[in-house]
Structure 1
């Protein structure tokens, strides 16, 4: 379950598991608690009304899975004027328990728990980045993220700046399997087994998507291996772009619909609508979702849509180092290439946050927008329809998110409303036409056609 607040730079991604109600409840409560705290701390300036430059990024990952146990690790990165850092928390779920369990529940008696903490302290002292004084009396809260690697060793993740200096980076302490095994509770033993030998080995999210979309064919049978490539042509950098159609957007009222953060559970239904409405669009996908739903990306390309890179972790690129930016882009391109045999031809920075460094590292054109439907904020179909139709002008790039059901439901009316006003739907590349798109340059819209009055420049300032 993904949510964004584009203005406050908040991105959250958590799990819901129908067969384990405690997962949705516990994960949603955690997200709500962190988001509310972030918003209460980062309030608009009284004089200017402007929000401070801050960011909250929460992402959940499965660390263990069995028919009885689930382990979910949550990374929470937060940056404010006071500093920045990542917190780690692992929630454990027993199919029979009504609420999330914590690290202490993995261990048997109080004596076993105390022994484990001693092993943690001993292992941590071997790391020169750790302040030894901080280990004298380990607070239980510092051990709220413990997982197991493939060999059964316990891995303890400390929050940034908790036991080491700000510059230390992630500090992970390993306690050998031989020390851990005899200290575990019955549930802890099940959790360790679920981590070292996860079962069943399936993509739970993918199966859930397929189940929710059957039998209406929301997910096409096309696979990355069988996806047709006749509808693509190489660009100057060796990437394959959708073959350009005979549409001249300098003389025609064109608009490019774009969708961020997916593909999501409803993207298959959206593709059905776009196919029926003959509306080629551009999808800016995140790496994990591209990896989870490669068949959706293959379908996008097969049906004439364009795929762009929206990074891996949806972090604000202007807050990252060059190496981190490159990794965000490269990891996502690897997932896209795995799905469609080619990297993304475009990049859209999360929140539209970019600078000359991120633009250069993108190695592709950087695409912004001039129409924000605020679909992430309203989650209201009629408001999304009204914004898209009333704010679009010839050459517009419209921002939406295919992770929201309300947005997917709005698209049929958007297509009919804009078509009634004489618009032709095109991909971003088609929108720019002969003026072209240059790697490392940013664009928020295309020039208005010659017949339109009040023409505006196309390229956004960097």
Structure 2
């Protein structure tokens, strides 16, 4: 993990603001923008409406091997969840083996980084669709971005690949139309195109990102280098609703209909869903702790919210009337806004930790703003208040990052390395043995073992005279 031990986190904002005055950033395309696409994306899915949704996250905080992965687990869609888990685990294992072992040779000039994020394409009726976007910066192929869509048919209880949207008898006609359109594009290589689409064994891997537009059209996306020269970038082909419908399977037609006219509810056959409840504790008055007179410590929790871990953590904190700062990830905020609302209601501070945990220093100014602004909007929608603080993933921050936002950066003094050591006793012992007055402690509320360590931390440090305050309170009264 990147450490900045020479500068106290509370003083960091001043130092970086001076750096920012001398910086300028370049503007690049916003994440998710593709080339040669027509039509618009389908309606945005509100994941908070999916009963029992769990966002499965695994993040590293090691600068030499930075990774962040996430995928959704929806009750009833176990086969689809298993398929995503298999692919995510495989990519992560490959990344660790190729880029993170001693002596490994990464193709990336700035070092390796793996980021796998998710978005819902449709979640209504008996249809569930998810896209996973993988950015592997250890590869030498462009920006290392690849995408894949996963589909679930709740009517039959079956996981479907992207090609499952196309009827078996229509796949040759569908592929012929794809090839005809792609041959018109600059950079497409005929031999590469034929190898990718003619052989059924290769076809499923190449045609693995299909989704519907808001007007029922079918959008097909290809990764960089899949059908053309890598320098040409990604290719996207969009067919009209009338053209696409003729090729669709029975499931594909239902997926198309639910994408354009979604039902109010999702029902994919779950026999039961985990009960998600946010604690109802409310803060009593403002925190009047004077950190000039008493010993204070700011516990901070990254990467959440997570169910049920964050809910359990809030209960522990309430027992000691402790206030902490949560640095939340945007895609988790929109999945669990009730938990974020409960954090704020209980008197805790909610900060910004980007939308999907990339190294911000490797992004363009526009991409940095996209990551932070989208997350701030989600936090404000959940709590009614926009955040004022952000924690850069991996602690990676520079003048370009600080110049792109008005949020104040926050790092840490005590690193529990709880992502590396899933041991509640070890995490608690690390905090208790290392903490000093006015320290900022880094933990993660996505890990059950980290949450389990909190009661012991609160008990021992309270007995030693420590008061638990938010980062902003510590800055204001230190």
TM-score for both structures, normalised by structure 1: 0.80
DSSP-derived class of the 1:2 partner: strand
For 1:170 and 1:328, how far apart are their aligned partners in 2? 21
Distance 1:92 1:301, change over 3 A: closer
The 5-angstrom pairing of residues 310-321 of structure 1 reads 310-321=353-364
2:280 paired residue number: 220
2:314 paired residue number: 271
> Whose relative contact order is higher, 1 or 2, with alpha carbons under 8 Å and at least 6 apart?
2
CA contact (8 A) 1:264 1:402 kept: yes
Structure 2 gap segments, 5+ residues each = 1-55, 198-202
TM-score for both structures, normalised by structure 2: 0.77
Structure 1 gap segments, 5+ residues each = 223-227, 232-242, 436-462
DSSP-derived class of the 1:297 partner: helix
| Aligned mate of 1:28, from 79, 85, 97 | 85
CA contact (8 A) 1:53 1:81 kept: no
For 1:47 and 1:313, how far apart are their aligned partners in 2? 26
DSSP-derived class of the 1:212 partner: coil
| Aligned mate of 2:327, from 275, 281, 284 | 284
1:53 paired residue number: 111
| Aligned mate of 2:461, from 413, 418, 434 | 418
For 1:361 and 1:74, how far apart are their aligned partners in 2? 27
2:22 paired residue number: none
C-alpha distance after superposition, 1:276-327 (max 9, x if no partner): 2111100111112222333333332232211111011211111111110111
DSSP-derived class of the 1:311 partner: coil
Aligned-residue offset at 1:189? 2.2
Aligned-residue offset at 1:407? 1.9
Q: CA RMSD in A?
A: 2.9
Distance 1:15 1:199, change over 3 A: same
CA contact (8 A) 1:78 1:85 kept: yes
Within the alignment, does 1:145 sit opposite 2:234 as a pair? no
156-165 vs 23-32, greater mean Cα deviation: 156-165
Aligned-residue offset at 1:169? 5.1
Distance 1:366 1:166, change over 3 A: farther
The 5-angstrom pairing of residues 24-423 of structure 1 reads 24-46=81-103, 53-80=111-138, 82-83=140-141, 84-95=143-154, 100-110=159-169, 112-125=170-183, 127-128=185-186, 134-136=192-194, 138-139=196-197, 140=203, 141-163=205-227, 166=230, 168=232, 170-201=234-265, 211-214=274-277, 218-220=278-280, 245-248=288-291, 250-266=292-308, 267-423=310-466
Distance 1:221 1:73, change over 3 A: farther
Aligned-residue offset at 1:34? 0.6
CA contact (8 A) 1:70 1:94 kept: yes
Aligned-residue offset at 1:77? 0.8
For 2:72 and 2:133, how far apart are their aligned partners in 1? 13
Distance 1:66 1:336, change over 3 A: closer
Distance 1:311 1:22, change over 3 A: same
Aligned-residue offset at 1:336? 1.5
Aligned-residue offset at 1:98? 7.3
1:450 paired residue number: none
1:235 paired residue number: none
1:457 paired residue number: none
CA contact (8 A) 1:220 1:295 kept: no
2:10 paired residue number: none
For 2:242 and 2:140, how far apart are their aligned partners in 1? 41
For 1:367 and 1:347, how far apart are their aligned partners in 2? 6
For 1:305 and 1:18, how far apart are their aligned partners in 2? 30
